[in-house]
Structure 1
């Protein structure tokens, strides 16, 4: 049988990156005591009041068809939220609601790029980004995010990779997997390049509410001179501990949203109204769980750094936001994949190999900060023991 070329472009770009996580889950299901530091699932349940809001909405009959833009109530709430946060008016026709950030990014990139185009993307990158770009037919052009710059994208690195085929500058701030947060000066420099070369700016800001203390958050949407070319994406998955509800949105120019609407209608023809009602409540007030997660994740990042940084040549990159820390294991002589595989089999700790996030993290690990403090500390001790055993065998 014949298949569309998109199936070839996406082959190996989805579940294959999560093979070690799947192995850990299988061991856990078999009764093994696994410390799981792989995926970024909030460490608290979805707040009861949000579940109750969705339940009330369903009982009230909010279970029918919606529309491709989003229910009027949540669209209005998001317009008000972004107007307040960005310091300028964001209108309802600048908002689109779709099921989760992943769907938002899929649709937005589909509207920005196609075969023959190039998308500039930071390397390392979140594991699904390569596939999101590939599905459009465009080519991902990795821009190195360097540890010496705190993994913040540098305009000079972007400029060196711009060609006549460049169409999109794809940002992620706060960044997964590095926890880096772009500053206003970074965005001004990157925005100047986007204006000069007529690039779209797509910014995934799903961790906006999870920035650590004393770290300023900035968005390209803050800058009026970038308004005509900027689209930001987010959701309630992380900030409100509600990943299973699949409720996301994008905010951008009204013309862009009008052009995106037929695509949204063709893909989905609307999200569930009862989830829209839950989301309206969630985005209309501060998250009841984000501040607690920020405090815990920051503390656990410190636990990992205190236990591992400098031990056996390991280096820990402390995040500025989000729910992950990075560990450089290159001093052991192993790849991140080999180190992580041995760590799981011998010490029953599951982490993500850096290679799952691009060439820029070869020889690194990504550790989730979502386990309790004592389990996080125990995992760090086991990582140290694994590194020591590797170095001891090498000697």
Structure 2
């Protein structure tokens, strides 16, 4: 079942927030704030599709908040609507100049308000899909070069050489197979990411013990761990039940462990830390690798950034984007803390448990 679009409403008047919740709460996931200063941090954490901003607020007004939201690169597709009792044309113009997508005058007409919210959410979706397609094509152009070269060059040699030993033929055939496998894997990942972004992946969540999935991911990575000489330590409870899609969560754990192995030094210990809480639980994958450039952190889970192409073909680029997309669709989150030379910690925030769970899988 797809998640409801997230809306953040900011107003220092509690009654206005109550009205917005009544108008939109049945259809959308509405978060309300009465403190304008917390808007930017909350928006970066929640990643809402739409922000509704009151203009006249203490400390920081709606115009300034709008500018701050527009300056945040991770929120570039965010739709911002200013809501005010001031109907003056100059105030509307000021709002548009601050970066607002629309300006709604109080008192709100319920039907018009809902209609405008639907329009802006649809626009946001269309913009994101169009950009995703464009950037995916650009990424494909970059990513296909190496595996196609691995296929065409040895194929040309095979077709042009009449006298060649069986050993050389097998070697060239192996290079072709490696290139084709790499190409197939990349296309599979790109297609899966597109399906996640398009809401076309099943998200039927059930009560699941997450710890066995962690052990399964470690077993799956046995050969890669052995090749790197790395070991894994698990710290935390032996059981952690929440409501998730088991297959998708396994994919997340497998991707994060693979990423940790990829960037770990030979002989390193990878830590998996499990934190259980009655309302919110976490699983962290901690490596001692080279860390991540701070300039990459903001777009790390985008998966389509060709500015640092080495992070795609080997697995981490698209795999991290897929993991982030799957967790978001299940109601969880994926975040990272890292600095160059100090390793990285990828933290899985598991979906919040809101009611008693049934039989555990």
TM-score, scaled to structure 2: 0.26
Larger radius of gyration: 2
TM-score, scaled to structure 1: 0.24
